[in-house]
Structure 1
Amino acid sequence: MKIAVLMFLVLYAVERLLETFWKREKVAGEIQIPYSLPLIIAVYVSLYLVVFYGWFRLDEQSFRRPIVMTGTILVITSVIGRNWAIKTLGVFHSIHIEIRNKHDLIQSGPYQYVRNPYYLSNIIEAIGLALMVGSRLALYISVLVYVPVLVHRMLLEEKSLSQKFGASFVKYEQQVPRIIPRLFHAKERSEF
């Protein structure tokens, strides 16, 4: 089972690199807050290295199959969610905080349920990776470092979108929660 987890982690790392840096058709735009991408990458790479360290420390006797399977399901769910968000954004997707020329305010696909499905998927992924290798250190880094960095970037991105779209974005904020989907389409405003 330990080798299967390693194979998954290596294949997933390749998938994540391709997904992140694959050249897609896009519309020209202006990158805002340029420090945010290197910061996210540095924290994510650190997290992934800790995940690999966690894998090396795994021993077959202490291997908890239900936790590994839960982590694997979370990571696969994150891939589906992130790729749904990327596909929905289409030419407006960017790994930077970037407002594209003729940018549309996307409110379909996963964006009708949460304003930040890409970031939600990244949070799910980080927790899943930590669970896959049973690493408390990776879980702590996910929750105490990676998630706050993602939330910081999310807030910066929403500020840029608010400046671009004005009242349309304010209305969208009032109707759609930031990151935690509503289970029962309640009308009250939700910050997260």
Structure 2
Amino acid sequence: MGDPSKFSDLGLFYVFHSALLLMIMAELFINLYTYQKSTGKEKINKKDKGTKWMLMFNFYICIYISFYMVGNNIPAGFRNLKLPAIFSYFGVVLLLAGIVIRLWAVLTLKRAFTLSVQTAATQHLITTGIYRNVRNPAYTGSICSLLGTVICLRNVIALFIVLVLSLVCYSARIYVEEKALIEHFGEEFIDYEKHTYRLLPFVW
């Protein structure tokens, strides 16, 4: 993790690790921001089905794989399957963009944002700001950051693994979450689905 030889120049090495630290700090902030003590005054319907822990596992395992696949314990044939050096710069931009998108999404929802899939009687459907066109921008941000991390390190095999893991895990989470939102909001959410995208505008 602290090996500058993995990067084309020392400046990029420090920028990448600063961005990585910023991503971890952002996740800590989100955990603290969304923490709420139960007051017993409002009924919370929890329908998470373990997806909170699945996303946490995906987050840490993707970062681990990104670094592990460029380590000396990996056979050189796999370790040296690399993207061109220029991709490291693109990776940093994607990593930072992901942090901004995720924080923007969380702060737009304010207290309505939770790490678990759950609904409450007083909950309102947010369709403004970053949620105007994308239904799950917080997940878009997370995926961008994870892909940015692995692209910075440039290993092709790690990129494939991170991409597949993230798509599988976040697709499962979105399925569970949107099912819960349909049950809670009914036609309001179904209508919202018709003119928005799940993760990426004009793609999906």
Fold shared per TM-score above 0.5: yes
Superposition pairs of residues 105-120 of structure 1, within 5 angstroms: 105-120=125-140
State whether structure 2 residue 174 is matched by structure 1 residue 161.
Answer: no
> RMSD value over aligned CA atoms?
2.7
d(CA) in 2 for partners of 1:67, 1:141: 17
Task: State whether residues 72 and 129 of structure 1, in contact with CA within 8 Å, keep that contact through their aligned partners in structure 2.
Answer: yes
Q: Which amino acid aligns with 2:56?
A: I
d(CA) in 2 for partners of 1:163, 1:55: 45
SS in 2 for 1:103: coil
Task: State whether residues 6 and 55 of structure 1, in contact with CA within 8 Å, keep that contact through their aligned partners in structure 2.
Answer: no
- 2:52 corresponds to which of 24, 37, 61: 37
13 and 118 in structure 1: CA distance in 2 versus 1, 3 angstrom threshold = closer
Q: Which amino acid aligns with 1:82?
A: R
Task: State whether residues 19 and 92 of structure 2, in contact with CA within 8 Å, keep that contact through their aligned partners in structure 1.
Answer: no
The runs of 5 or more residues in structure 2 that have no matched partner are 1-9, 73-78
Say which structure, 1 or 2, has more relative contact order (CA 8 Å, 6+ apart): 2
| Structure 1 residue 180: Cα displacement | 2.3
d(CA) in 1 for partners of 2:26, 2:158: 18
What's the % identity of the aligned pairs? 21
| Structure 1 residue 165: Cα displacement | 0.4
- 2:147 corresponds to which of 127, 134, 146: 127
Larger radius of gyration between Structure 1 and Structure 2: 2
Identify which range, 6-15 or 43-52, moves more after superposition: 6-15
Query: How many residue pairs are counted as aligned between the two chains?
Result: 182
Task: State whether residues 87 and 154 of structure 2, in contact with CA within 8 Å, keep that contact through their aligned partners in structure 1.
Answer: yes
- 2:103 corresponds to which of 60, 77, 83: 83
Task: State whether residues 98 and 144 of structure 2, in contact with CA within 8 Å, keep that contact through their aligned partners in structure 1.
Answer: yes
Q: Which amino acid aligns with 1:154?
A: I
| Structure 1 residue 36: Cα displacement | 0.6
SS in 1 for 2:118: strand
